[in-house]
Structure formats: C-alpha cells, structure tokens
Amino acid sequence: MRTALPDKGRDWDTLKGEMEAFKAGDIDWKSGRLGVYVFHAGMDVMNVGKEAYQLYHTENALGSETAFPSLKKMEADVIDMGLSLLQGPEGACGNMTSGGSESIFMAVKACRDQARSKGKDVVAAGLVIPYSAHPAFDKAAGYLGLTVTRVPLQENYLADVQAMQTAISDNTIMLVGSAPCYPYGLIDPIEELGVLAQDEGLWLHVDSCVGGYFLPHARSVGVDVPAFDFEVPGVCSISADLHKYGFTPKAASTIFHRTEEQRSHQIFDFNGWPAGGMTTQTAAGSKAGGAVAGAWAVLNYLGVDGYEEKARMIVNAQDKLAKGLETIDGLYPLLESRYAISTIASAELNIFSVWKRMVDRGWFTSAIMEPVALHLMVQPFHVEVMDEFLKDLSEVAELVRQDADNSEAEKPRYN
C-alpha cells in the first residue's frame, strides 16, 4: 500500500521524533561500530562539515557561474588542493562530482569522446581493467555503449599488467588501475600500467576513490606508498572521493584530468532550446551547494597536519588489528595492507557466521567473496574501539568454532 501525502501538514517536533525512532534499527556509526558507508574522523570534523553544509544547503552549484560565485571559488579551491596532493602538473584540472561512480563515469565518457574526436570508431570500444576494479566501470560502460574486459589478477591480488597487455585489442581505449582497490586494499602497479598505456597510446585512469585523500598523508607519516598519481607520466585521470577519506559531507568526489584538452571532452554544452545556453562540467544538472561548501570547510579545517594525524590513527588502528589477530585462533589478516582497508580470513571458520554474529553484537563490516574474508574500511575513530572489536571478534570466533551447523549463515553484500 502506498504512503499518501498527508491531508494536513504535521508539526516538526512530531516528525523529528518519528525520524529518530526510525533510526533505532540502524548501526550506531558514532560509536565506531561501522566499517563501511560512513567515514568518521571525529565529531568536530563532522560538525564543521554539517555547519558548512547548512550554510549552503539551499544554494545550487548549477548557478555558480552567475548567481553563486562563492561556490565557484570554493570548488576551484577544492580542486587545487586535490591536485596539489596528487602531484597534478601545470595545466591539470578537475571538477567536483556527487561520488566515485560519477567521477568514474566522467572519466570514461571523456575518454570515449576524445577517442571519437580523433576519428576512432567507438561503437563497442572497450576498457581493459583488473578483476578487482570497481563495478562503476561496468556501469559507465553500460550507459555509454562500451565493453569491459576484466582481466584475472596475479596471485598476490594485484593487476596483472602482462595479462592486461594481452587483452588489449584494436577497440581498447582505456586501461584502469586502482590505488587502492576496494576488495583487497592494495595499490595496483600503476607505474607499469603507465608505461603500457604510453606504449599503446591508451588512456590510463587511476581509481583512487578510496586512497586519493589518504595515501599522500599516509606516505607522510611513514607508510610505503608506491607512485600512483600524476607523478606517473602515463596517468591521464584520477578519481578521488572527498566523502571517504577526505571526511567531507556526502555526496562529494573529484575527477582530475592531466590536461584541459582531456576535460573538454567531459563537458556538456547545449544551446538548442528556448532558455539559452546550458553548460555542465559533470553529469548532474543541479548540484548541492552544501557538498561543495562542506568539502571546502573540512579541507581547510583539517589541513595537512590534521590529515596526517588522521592517517596516523588509521595506520595505528590497522596495525593494532593485525597484531590482535595473532591472538585469535583461526583468524588472520588475508593481506598485509596499510592503505586503510583490512581483510580478515580463516582457513577453518565460516566467515559469514563470524560476520553475522558480529553484526548481532552491533559491529557492521562488509565482506569479500574471492577469497572469503571480512572487509573493514578502517577509520580514525576505530583506534579507540579496536580493543573492544578484537574482544568481541575473539569471543565470536570461539562461538562459531563450537557451532557445527553454521553453513546457512547470511552472506553480506557490497550494498
């Protein structure tokens, strides 16, 4: 039965109470019990983003060229800060988007249209991507009439550059690498992919939606981070999410291009209707001014020193988790990664049963299926709750060990 619009409006206090009651079954992310979806860097950061968003919650960045030049200025600042982190060369440029999927879509669209402008037949043109790359590439290809070839990984779960080279055909227009990939938290061999892209005359996109606003700061606090950004000559574009490890309000991401010529193929420009010219840099028309303002405020609030401190907390939490797993019989880190994503595997316990029991205790993580493992997007706040997490994980592991019939445990999903 459909919910009908009420005949008479209702007072806000009642509505607010109902909405708060709706949340009773939601995961308590403020306590650090969520390992995906929300990126919690502390209530001070949350409040800065919230207040900045509220200052601009009505403004529409579609009108940033005319009505709201303050939004144009703030978006330009955000892009400049991102390019400085990702070693953008002179002439590099970019735009804010609503999220990683839109950033990836714009990169694929720009690549396709650039290829077409050079006379290439882009009907069924293709992307060659690692098996671990985000489904947003398949989504973009589906919208744009392109094909995707997913190439098996090396045994170490990194992109297999030689296999990707073999998969290249006359129709290929784009190669993809991740920094890091979502399933495993590993950085693909971007330098090797850059050489391959240049040798083959192909566009290389680096999906750094997870790492773009984390890896530069992790490197500064001592983590070994290989070259992954515009430092690599063959990298053409990079996607990086502000609302992940930039800790800004949703929905906010960035798409960066090495040159303005590249970005020109991303832009929509139209003048064939009665209301005058319309130009948009990304897929959206209306664009939340609050997301732009929130990103600008949080980036300035934290600064380099703030982001480095958050990166240090994340790395410490990951190290604490890895060390704690040494004391839990049957569980171990699937991979050694210090790039904000941790995975927990077992050779003897049903991981899905472990996951379900941890959810029952108020902890919500995601999982990967190949190989089966718990999957945690580690955040600064997790360092404060890691001891409690490990205690519950140890108890749950023992309960699963004692439970002979747990084969029907629910399997988690990406969304």
Q: What is the pLDDT of residues 349-370, one digit of tens each?
A: 999 999 999 999 999 888 899 9
Note the pLDDT of residue 407.
56
Note the pLDDT of residue 408.
55
Which sequence spans correspond to the domains of the chain? Answer: 50-299, 303-402
CATH number of 50-299: 3.40.640.10
The token duo for 115 is: 């290829």
Note the pLDDT of residue 337.
85
Note the pLDDT of residue 66.
83
Note the pLDDT of residue 285.
87
Q: What is the pLDDT along the chain (415 residues), one digit of tens a residue?
A: 899 999 999 999 999 999 999 998 888 888 888 788 889 999 999 999 999 999 999 977 887 778 889 999 999 999 999 999 999 999 999 999 999 999 999 999 999 999 999 999 999 899 999 999 999 999 999 999 999 999 999 999 999 999 999 999 999 999 999 999 999 999 999 999 999 999 999 999 999 999 999 999 999 999 999 999 999 999 999 999 999 999 999 999 999 999 999 999 999 999 999 988 888 889 898 888 999 999 999 999 999 999 999 999 999 999 999 999 999 999 999 998 889 999 999 999 999 999 999 999 999 888 899 999 999 999 999 999 999 999 999 999 999 998 865 555 667 777 7
The C-alpha atoms of residue 100 and residue 260 are separated, in whole angstroms, by: 21
The C-alpha atoms of residue 133 and residue 181 are separated, in whole angstroms, by: 6
Fold annotation for 303-402: Aspartate Aminotransferase, domain 1 (3.90.1150)
The C-alpha atoms of residue 136 and residue 385 are separated, in whole angstroms, by: 32
The C-alpha atoms of residue 237 and residue 259 are separated, in whole angstroms, by: 9
Note the pLDDT of residue 38.
86
Strand 203-207, strand 93-97: pairing: unpaired
| Buried/exposed 368-400: b ≥16 CB within 10 Å, e otherwise | beeebbbbbbbbbbbbeebeebbebbbebbeeb
Strands (E), 36-125: 93-97
The one-letter amino acid at 370: E
Note the pLDDT of residue 30.
83
The C-alpha atoms of residue 20 and residue 260 are separated, in whole angstroms, by: 46
Tell me the C-alpha to C-alpha distance, in Å, between residue 112 and each of 23, 108, 178, 239, 381.
43, 6, 20, 16, 41
Note the pLDDT of residue 26.
86
Note the pLDDT of residue 104.
98
Residue linked to tokens 């574009």: 237
Check residue 5 and report its DSSP letter: P
Helix, strand, or coil (residue 262): helix
